[in-house]
Every structure is written in structure tokens, then in C-alpha cells.
Amino acid sequence: MSNVTVIGTQWGDEGKGKIVDWLASRADIVVRFQGGHNAGHTLVVGDQVYKLSLLPSGLVRGKIGVIGNGVVVDPKALMTEIDRVTGQGLVVTPETLWIAENAPLILPVHGALDRAREAARGEHKIGTTGRGIGPAYEDKVARRAIRICDLAEPETLDWKLDELLLHHNTLLAGLGAETFTKEQLKDFLTEITPRLLPFSCQVWDRLDEARRAGRRILFEGAQAVMLDVDHGTYPYVTSSNTVAAVAASGSGVSPSSVGFVLGIAKAYTTRVGEGPFPTELHDQTGRTLGERGHEFGTVTGRPRRCGWFDAVLIRRAVRVGGVSGIALTKLDVLDGLDEIFICIGYELDGQKIETFPSAPGAQSRVKPVYETMPGWKETTAGARSWAELPAQAIKYVRRIEELIEAPVTLLSTSPERDDTILMRDPFED
């Protein structure tokens, strides 16, 4: 029996929500280990649609949900989300939701700075959601973050707010934005403390107890490998590491606890926001993929840019992410296309290259090299076994496996939870 870690292998929005929800029914505990409320999962359960940003998806299945120390927590956003899902019938209490006491908080000053800097970038904006995630991670690294445990120590909180405001107000004033007073932040924290502190605990200790007891743990990543601050399309990335290795450090468990790493990939490619996208389609095919796939960001509502499957990027994600197997989603969106293209390499300044470059200028000049495959007219929507898939769809999946050097262990053929083809159970690996 193994734990499982789920990560995205593209630029996010790969359909992780459904996969995590499906796996959560087989787990005891579901852990968020990085990111903030700038990522979202949409879960469809019967006639209910749950949109989650901070809450672990396992709560929908009645499992224990954990927000690890690697997550930056906006307490207002968290409480709003708890109130919303509670109104939908979910039970969210300190017994069902554990939040790491050493998780950093996102304060109003962080969002203000995030938005002011993005506006100042002008045409060089990086596509941030403006929710303060980046500045909150900066404070963590600079050792001036306000953490949940600080809320229980007013004397500690007092001098830490002085240090934090000295830094942030200087930046805000320089950008011509409104500054904050200590009283404003104190009032904010005073309001949220009674609701937030009861959820706070030593997550690392509870997870170690669960591991020793043989309980199954599912680690749930946000964003995706190509948005990783080290391995993604820098600077058009998120502010945290998104690879599977962070499941350990971001929740306080040993590296050996990560278990089977399941990478999620769409049968095509999408991206929200700015940044390079070699296989992006600006034609009717791209619009068709977006319409069929309902491609709008869960958190931002922004339309996703759509393009062909990029095997080069996912092969990189497989290698740096330690991916054991792939869950391929939204195969049904490709139904009815005459031809399907797979990016198998790139051209850069007239030269063929086999990996994606790191420099932003080179990334913007990369041109995809495609392999063409015939499409299929039959429908794959709702298929629950290989026998129900068209022959050409099976060939497409098999070719993807060869190119990315990883097996497809799970196939999703619609947003419905049970429309899933399982080739290998990650928990039994």
C-alpha cells in the first residue's frame, strides 16, 4: 500500500480536481502542500458543483483535509470558502480540517503590493492573479511572515507587524499606492483569529501518526510543473515549487512518504495568463477546444489559451517531477477532429532542439515540430473501459506514452467521477 502525490504536468487546469476527488474515495487524509488561493479545483458530484481554492478536495468525500505549512493562507478567503461549502452540506470543523500552525498568512498588504507591482510592469506583466501569493512567499523567505501560530502571541505579533509594514509601506509608497497602518492589520487579524486558530495544529506530528498507523495519505498539488518557480517558464510562473518533492517539505513528512507520483495531463494543452506557449492555436481549432473543454479558469474566470499536446514539456515534467504514471484527462474533447497534432520537438533560430530552453527570449522564439495522427469520429465521452474507446484514440494514447516516457495509468473521459478508465491503482503500487 502506497501514499499518492498528485501534480499537474502542464500549466495547471489539467482536471486535477476530478482525479483527486476520485482518488480521495480511496484515501484517509488529503493534504494541500503548496500554493495559495490562486489555484482552483472544480469537482462535480451528482448535481453539486464544488469550486475549491484552499480547501483540500478530500473534504467533499468526508475525508480529513490538511493545509500544510507550504501553503500561504489568506484567512478571509479560507473562511469564505468554508462558509460556501458548508452551505452546500459539507462538514468542516477542526476535526475534519487541520491547518499547519507554521503556515504563513496572506494579509491585505500583500494583495495591494501584488496588484501595484503588476500594474507597474505594464506590457511586461507576468499574469499574476493579484491575490498576494508572491509577496506572502517573499515574506516567508525574508523571515518576516506572520504565521498562524503568531496569532496566539500578541507580543510577538506586535513587533512583527512593525517589521512587515516597514518593508511593504516603503514599496507601496514608491509605487504610488496606498499604504497601511498597524491598526488596520491588527483589526484584520483580530477579526479572523477566533475562527482560524481552532483549526491550527502541528500537522507534521499528526501526519506522522497517520503514517505509522498505515493510513493512506493523498498529497494534492496546486498549479503544475511548468509553473514551478525553478522548473517552469520563468518568470511567468507561480511563487512556489510545484514538483512532487515539495509534498514532503510542504507538509512536514519524510521524502519516502510521497509514494506514487501521479502526473495529470490534458489530452491537449491549455494555459491561463501570460507567458510562452509553443503549441498555442489562434484559429478555429483552438476556439473549438476551448468551447468543448469549457476552458475558463476556476479562480480567475479568464479564458484559457488552447493548443495541441506538447510531449516535450510533459517529458520534462515527468523527469523533474518524478512522475510514476500519467492521468490523461479530457480525451473526449478531441472527438470528431480529422487530424490531431502532437509536438515532438522544437525549432529555435533554425536549429532543431529536443528540450525547452530556460531563457525567456529563447522560449518566446521556439517553434513546435509536429507529428500528425488521424483523429476519430466515434465518441469517447463516458467510456469506462478500453473496449469502449475508438482504435485511433487508443493509438493516440499509446503514442503519448512513448513520447513522454511514462505510462498512462488512468484515463478520464468526462467531468463525471465514474467516467474513468483505471489501468493501474496508484494506492496499490
What pLDDT score was predicted for residue 39?
Answer: 67
Q: Which range among 292-296, 304-308, 360-364 shows the weakest confidence by mean pLDDT?
A: 292-296
What pLDDT score was predicted for residue 105?
Answer: 97
Q: Taking residues 177-184, what's their average pLDDT? A: 94
pLDDT > 90? residue 391: yes
Considering the chain, tell me which residue range(s) the CATH 3.40.440.10 domain(s) occupy: 4-101+199-260
pLDDT digits (tens, 9 = 90+) for 253-288: 999 999 999 999 999 999 988 899 999 999 999 999
If you classify domain 108-196 with CATH, what class do you get? Answer: mainly alpha
Binding region for substrate: 298-304
Phi, psi of 49 (to 5 degrees): -120, 120
| Among candidate residues 258, 277, 346, the one with its CA nearest the CA of residue 33 | 258
Nearest-10 Cα torsion for 247, 251, 256, 257 = -100
Binding region for GTP: 12-18, 40-42, 304, 330-332, 412-414
Contact call for residues 263 and 318 (beta carbons, < 8 A): yes
Considering the chain, tell me which residue range(s) the CATH 1.10.300.10 domain(s) occupy: 108-196
Cell of 2: 502506497
**Is 177 or 51 the better-scoring residue by pLDDT?**
177
pTM: 0.92
Contact call for residues 9 and 227 (beta carbons, < 8 A): no
Cell of 244: 512532487
| Among candidate residues 269, 287, 254, 286, the one with its CA nearest the CA of residue 224 | 269
CATH topology of domain 267-311+328-428: Adenylosuccinate Synthetase; Chain A, domain 3 (3.90.170)
Binding region for Mg(2+): 13, 40
Query: Which residues carry out catalysis?
Result: 13, 41, 140
pLDDT > 90? residue 188: yes
DSSP 138: H
What are the Cα distances from residue 338, in Å, to 279, 376, 378, 393? Answer: 18, 7, 11, 12
pLDDT digits (tens, 9 = 90+) for 232-246: 999 999 999 999 999
Helix 133-141 vs helix 108-121: angle between axes, to the nearest 10 degrees? 110
How many CA atoms, within 13 angstroms, populate the side-chain half-sphere of residue 281? 21
Of 3.40.50.300, 3.40.440.10, 3.65.10.10, 3.30.70.100, the CATH number of 4-101+199-260 is 3.40.440.10
Counting Cβ atoms within 10 Å, is residue 174 exposed (0-12), middle (13-18) or buried (19+)?
exposed
